[in-house]
Chain A
Amino acid sequence: AQSVTQLGSHVSVSEGALVLLRCNYSSSVPPYLFWYVQYPNQGLQLLLKYTSAATLVKGINGFEAEFKKSETSFHLTKPSAHMSDAAEYFCAVSDYHFNKFYFGSGTKLNVKP
């Protein structure tokens, strides 16, 4: 069985500060990991994905995530938050064979001026 856990349902940072959103996964097979972003009243959009090619993955809008097998983590970071980053972020895991995607409970990011 596969699952992801996101620590912190709400994170608040000041504009220009570091963004760190946490995700830990549980998987019995090599995982494929994703971060999605959801802006208000919209569907989800892919930020980045890890598929074993490289442990540090760069995504859109300056976000990146590092896969750490020893910690079963895939935390999302951005060096400097922008007001437009305010949204809800979801970590997800899938497997190669069945292509089912399982999502975490989400983290709402608030960016203060």
Chain B
Amino acid sequence: NAGVTQTPKFQVLKTGQSMTLQCAQDMNHNSMYWYRQDPGMGLRLIYYSASEGTTDKGEVPNGYNVSRLNKREFSLRLESAAPSQTSVYFCASSEGAGSNEKLFFGSGTQLSVL
């Protein structure tokens, strides 16, 4: 079972470069999420998508954009990377509102912005 797949696993960018983190889930989940994890700050929600065709801001959306391409895929884009965006990024999915089922996480992307 693949579950939630994120690519790439590691990435180094220079300040001002752009990149897209890819995420796909094969569990037919309605909701998908992007989190960033920083030491001492836990996981903070960047954006989430309650269902296909909808996206909404989380706690720390500045500097990011997202696309819910279809029910399976939810990408995160950094248009102009900054050192403050150095972090570990996790994609997650769940069945959706009203279910309160757990989140399924990808294995993470370690991003360094120099």
A interface residues with partner B (beta carbon < 8 Å) = 6, 9, 32, 34, 36, 41-46, 49, 51, 90, 92, 94, 96-106
Contact = CB atoms under 8 A, between A and B. Distances in A.
Nearest to B50: A99
Interface of B: 4, 31, 33, 35, 40-45, 48, 50, 58-59, 90, 92, 94, 96-100, 102-103, 105-108
A9 B100 contact: no
Nearest to B51: A99
15 contacts: A34-B103, A36-B103, A43-B92, A43-B106, A45-B105, A49-B100, A51-B100, A96-B98, A98-B50, A99-B50, A99-B94, A99-B99, A99-B100, A100-B45, A103-B42
Contacts of B40: 9, 105-106
A36 B105 CA distance: 11
A90 B37 CA distance: 11
A97 B33 CA distance: 16
Contacts of B102: 34, 46, 49
A20 B100 CA distance: 25
A50 to B, nearest CB: 10
Given A46-B103, A97-B97, A97-B98, A104 B33 contact: no
Contact of A32 (B42, B45, B48, B100): B100
